[in-house]
Amino acid sequence: MSASVARGLRPRWTDVTALALVALTVAVAAAALPRLPAEMVVGWHVGLDGRLSRTIGPRVLGVALLPALSVASYAALRTARALVSLDTPRDRRLYDALVHLLLASLCACQVAVVAANLG
């Protein structure tokens, strides 16, 4: 294993905060699970005519989709981090910002879906 790949695999402080966002996304779903309806609104769409339509799905989909997407996104981005050279501090900051922005967005979406379905 090359030194740059080994350097990319070494955990950093920002990995802890990224994993905390993933854990928060999972925790929101787990905490709300007993109070959520059997069928949940999992998507909202505004048509060209301006009318709002909703997509209804089973509770499992509403609860598990965004946490699973958060875990998969983190794993993919962490793998990319190990394979791609981020030699300058600026590159590492941009990578960390991208990871945190994506994971925070997924967490916010999870909160919105749960809140909308709780009433």
Cα(68)–Cα(56) distance, integer angstroms: 19
- Measure CA of the first residue to CA of the last residue in the chain; give whole Å: 52
Return the SS3 of 12: coil
Please tell me the predicted confidence (pLDDT) of residue 45.
82
What the block records as the tokens of 12 is 């950093």
Does residue 27 register a pLDDT over 80? Answer: yes
Please tell me the predicted confidence (pLDDT) of residue 53.
87
Cα(116)–Cα(85) distance, integer angstroms: 41
pLDDT in tens, 66-117: 999 999 999 999 888 888 887 788 888 888 999 999 999 999 999 999 998 9
Does residue 41 register a pLDDT over 90? Answer: no
Return the SS3 of 52: strand
Give residue 7's pLDDT band: very low, low, confident or very high (50, 70, 90).
low
Single pTM value for the model: 0.79
Please tell me the predicted confidence (pLDDT) of residue 72.
95
Q: Detail the DSSP E strand segments found in the chain.
A: 39-46, 52-58
Sketch the domain layout of the chain as residue ranges: 3-118
Cα(63)–Cα(55) distance, integer angstroms: 14
